[in-house]
Structure 1
Amino acid sequence: MRDLGAGFGYLMKGQRWVSQHGKQFGMGLLPGLITLVLYAAALVCLAVWGDDFVTWATPFADGWTSPWAGLFRGFLTGVLFALVLLLAVLTFTAVTLLVGQPFYESLSEKVDLAEGGHAPESGLPLWRELWISARDSLRILVRAAVWGVLLFALGFLPFVGQTVVPVIGFFITGFFLTEELTAVALQRRSVELRERLALLRSRKGLAWGFGTPLAVAFLVPFVAVFLMPGAVAGATLMARDLLGETAGPARGAGEPATR
């Protein structure tokens, strides 16, 4: 329980940090706004042509008597929209971080400078950092998709599917959101994906306390945009905690992270 509270505390500290640094907050909004426009366009297209797609994908239902064909296809359209919406929530952070890599790297570095007097650097060129970020995000997306399919299937269970399963879904989504956000600071410390996951699994309460409220808030697109800069700042503070870093002079760039 203490870690749950600490994780939420880092989320709040991050929001407070960017509120005190207006320029960083303003620059951090741009990637989220760009991603929001792209996702909104995709969802509008799905709303307009989703029925046509489902009809095209289910030719076997053409001969069904009314109203069964309409009910069946309407159900599939609803399921398709729900899955795409879930996928949007799961991928919004990854895509926004990829689009805003330079902005969020700069924000994370400034948080490190404020807390420890030094910002570790990976020493890698920008294109290499973007490639690693995209590759790791895809790996996380695959893991999240597996959980999503499992939870979708469990959602058909009476009572449990409508009560317990959604709660579990938010905690799982929160864990993966935390991984994506802490990756900004941890990649600069040359911490690989497997090590990042191990760190977060060792402090699941911390990850849940930070990411689960974000998962709920990110259901509202505009809220996600405005919370992203503070989420990156808070995730940087949490990454320092996970690695046992303390305030004061930090190690030189390229030195191994403290475990």
Structure 2
Amino acid sequence: MRDVAAGFKYLMRGQRWVVRHGKQFGFGLIPGLITLVLYAAALVALALWGTDFVSWATPFADDWSSPWLGLFRGFLTAVLFALALLLSVVTFTAVTLVLGQPFYESLSEKVDRDVSPDGTAPESGLPLWRELLISARDSLRIVARALVWGVLLFALGFIPFVGQTVVPVIGFFVTGFFLTEELTAVALQRRGVVLRDRLTMLRSRRTLVWGFGTPLGLAFLVPFVAVFLMPGAVAGATLMARDLLGEETREENSADGDPANPVHPVHPVGPANPAGPTNPTGPVSW
């Protein structure tokens, strides 16, 4: 439970950071607004034509008598829309981070400089086009993993009682994990930590990850909330990434830049880069 509380604390610290830095908050809203419009259009289209799609996909049920035909296709339509919501929550972050890579890279670097004892931030040393390419490639890999989980949970949703109780809970924990991976990737990629090593690091602290990502995933189900929480989520994920790697961080109450507050090393909440040392200024491994 301590790790869960610690994960949630990172999320709150990130939101407080962007509130104190209003310019960065407004800057970070732009990619989310663009993605929200695209996803809203897709979900509206699914709501309008989802029933037609289910009817087309289940021709074997055309001769079923009433009310079984309506109940069967109505259930499938509801499950299809629920699956679309789950995938939209998972992929919203990935798509927003790809579209807003320059925005969130800048925000994450400013968080690093603000809380770093020496006021510096790690840099990848890569050109922007290559950073975008690596981010898009890693996001596609995460989305593919999320789709596998989504299909599995969709199939388990047909199990009576379990499909309506246990499966949705598992779905939110899965969503929370992948959300956290996408968000911490902004800071970890600049440090040369590749996707495989990021996943290993996060799996070693699942409860911490769930404490950060699961409440965020639940909040993302509320319209427009995802847009307003994204800047703070990136900031909080940057703080968590620093501590996962055992980097020194100033006291939280010195994040506003008060030099009177002392600098102290933060004890890492997980293994410091389990895959070994990284090269924060060198090329990222493909």
- Counterpart position of 1:102: 102
Match of 2:29 in 1: 29
Distance 1:246 1:200 in 2: 19
2:206 alignment partner, one of 201, 204, 207: 204
Residue aligned with 1:118, SS: coil
Q: Residue deviations 1:48-99, cap 9 Å, x none?
A: 2222222333333334444443333322222221211111111011111111
Provide the rounded CA distance (Å) in 1 between the counterparts of 2:29 and 2:18: 11
More RCO (CA 8 Å, sep 6+): 1
**What amino acid maps onto 1:177 in structure 2?**
L
Instruction: Quote the sequence identity (%).
Output: 80
What SS does the corresponding residue of 2:159 show, helix, strand or coil?
A: coil
* 2:152 paired residue number: 150
1:214-247 per-position Cα deviation (integer Å, ceiling 9, x unaligned) = 0111111311111100000000000000111003
CA–CA distance in structure 2, aligned partners of residues 149 and 213 of structure 1: 22
Using the alignment, how far apart are the partners of 1:106 and 1:40 within structure 2? 27
Question: Aligned pair in 2 of structure 1 residues 18, 52: CA closer, same or farther (>3 Å)?
Answer: same
Note the alpha carbon deviations across 1:195-232, whole angstroms, 9 max, x for none: 00111111112111111110111111311111100000
SS in structure 1 at match of 2:104: helix
Confirm or deny: 8 A CA contact 1:120 1:252 kept in the other structure: no
Higher helix proportion (structure 1 or 2): 1
Q: In structure 2, do the counterparts of structure 1 residues 169 and 16 end up closer, same or farther at CA, with 3 Å as the change threshold?
A: same
Deviation of the 1:252 alpha carbon: 9.5
Equivalent AA in structure 2 for residue 212 of structure 1: T
TM-score, L = length of structure 1: 0.91
Matches within 5 A, 1:73-222: 73-116=73-116, 117-222=119-224
Task: State which drifts further: 235-244 or 137-146.
Answer: 137-146
Q: Give the alignment's TM-score, normalised by structure 2.
A: 0.83
Listed one character per residue, the Cα deviations across residues 147-175 of structure 1 (whole Å, up to 9, x for unaligned) are 22222333333433333322222111111
Q: Partner of 2:274 in structure 1?
A: none
SS, match of residue 242 in structure 2: helix
Judge which range, 157-166 or 97-106, deviates more: 157-166
Matched with 2:266 is: none
Q: CA deviation at 1:31?
A: 0.8
The separation in 2 between residues aligned to 1:245 and 1:255, in whole angstroms, is 19
Q: Unaligned 5+ residue runs, structure 2?
A: 251-262, 264-277
Please state whether the residue corresponding to 1:122 is helix, strand or coil.
Answer: coil
Q: Is contact 1:3–1:205 with CA below 8 Å preserved after alignment?
A: yes
Q: Structure 1 residues 74-83 or 118-127, which shifts more? A: 74-83
Counterpart position of 2:248: 246
1:106-142 deviation line (CA, Å, top 9, x unaligned): 0000000101111111111112111111111111112
**Matched AA of 2:124:** S
C-alpha RMSD of matched pairs (Å): 2.1
Q: Within the alignment, does 1:227 sit opposite 2:229 as a pair?
A: yes
Classify 1:63/1:157 alpha carbon distance in 2 versus 1 (closer, same or farther; 3 Å): closer
Give the Cα–Cα distance (whole angstroms) in 1 for the partners of residues 85 and 161 of structure 2. 23
Shifted more, 234-243 versus 134-143: the winner is: 134-143
Structure-1 separation of matches of 2:282 and 2:246: 14
- Of stretches 112-121 and 101-110 in structure 1, the one that deviates more from structure 2 is 112-121
Q: What amino acid is the match of 1:98? A: V
Shift of 1:14: 0.3
Looking at structure 1, the residues matched to 3 and 61 of structure 2 have their Cα atoms a distance apart, in angstroms, of 51
Measure, in 2, the Cα distance between the counterparts of 1:252 and 1:75: 51
- The 3 A distance-change label for structure 1 pair 100 and 62 is same
SS of 1:221's equivalent in the other structure is coil
